[in-house]
Structure 1
């Protein structure tokens, strides 16, 4: 819920934060919806549009490398991973889901940088569509909350 007095939602304040978003283009209809919901929520949380860096990669397996490159710049308070992996008929789904997830986690731990992982892993397109807006928005909230938390712990 938006707090009109502070310009923040749910008591979270992103007004001083710099956020990086890495978006996979594969399943672009879904990832574009994730990104739109995410960017809107970041702005609702007070993150200035000019403090949001948004980059694109081919697919979910490339997301961790781009996250690492952004983390190495040491100018972000949090990062967000956006993608969509839909189960197919082969083992490829498990490989991409497991490896992209592990890569995102490794970058977060190696750089002690919050990364909201909104790489959807679904059984079918309908499940992805049903989650695209909520999960994009959730990623923004997680990124801002964790950036604020880590700011108080350091």
Structure 2
């Protein structure tokens, strides 16, 4: 729909440093470079530190993020790449599997923004990647930042209801009665 307006929530603010990994497939180098530029600008505007790694293609992006999520201490991830429809069904496989991989990582707790473009042609990719245009790289970085903010908000909360181990319940009961506990 031409001319439709889109709401963008305000950029989150952080009281502790934020460390983000940008994983990019530079298969279409000019598109990838523009997306990285937009992502870096968004991360820097939020005061976040970033590292960039390159992988061969969009299918390797979820694997790289999964490895980093298991083995490093990044707060979040930005997935950047571009898949342009070709003459075979390979396009469908790459689009579906890279998206599915990122979705599963998100459901497992990785704070990530999906900036893998899935387009029909080079022109569509250029418009979406342009940091002064649709800025999908910046949008993916913003998504990661918002999820990091939610993770920190909810990770810091403790609830007064729910399961507590028996030892903790005994300690809390003793403190409530004024009985000292070890």
TM over 0.5: yes
Rounded to whole Å, the distance in 2 between the matches of 1:21 and 1:151 is 20
For residues 109 and 141 of structure 1, the distance between their equivalents in structure 2, rounded to whole angstroms, comes to 18
112, 116, 124: which one pairs with 1:115?
112
Moved over 4 A (4+): none
Give the structure 1 partner of residue 10 of structure 2.
10
Instruction: Tell me the alpha carbon deviations over residues 65-119 of structure 1, each in whole angstroms, 9 at most, x when there is no partner.
Output: 1001110124111111000000111111101000111111122223x11110000
Structure holding more strand per residue: 1
Quick one: structure 1 residues 63 and 11, their matched pair in 2 at CA, closer, same or farther if it must change by over 3 Å?
A: closer
Query: Aligned residue for 1:5?
Result: none
Indicate the residue corresponding to 1:149 in structure 2. Answer: 150
Give the TM-score of the pair, scaled to structure 1.
0.87
Q: Is the 8 A contact 1:13 1:144 kept in 2?
A: no
Give the alignment of 1:104-143 within 5 angstroms: 104-110=102-108, 112-132=109-129, 133=131, 134-143=135-144
Residues in 2 aligned to 1:152 and 1:10: alpha-carbon distance in whole angstroms: 16
Give the structure with the larger helix fraction: 1
Higher RCO (CA-CA < 8 Å; seq separation 6+): 1
Long gaps (5+) in structure 1 = 1-8
CA contact (8 A) 2:62 2:98 kept: yes
Q: Count the aligned residue pairs.
A: 142
User: What secondary structure sits across from 1:75 in the alignment?
Assistant: coil
Q: Is the contact between residue 18 and residue 78 of structure 1 (CA under 8 Å) also seen in structure 2?
A: yes
CA RMSD, 1 decimal: 1.5
Distance in 1 (alpha carbons) for counterparts of 2:124 and 2:60: 23
Larger Rg: 2
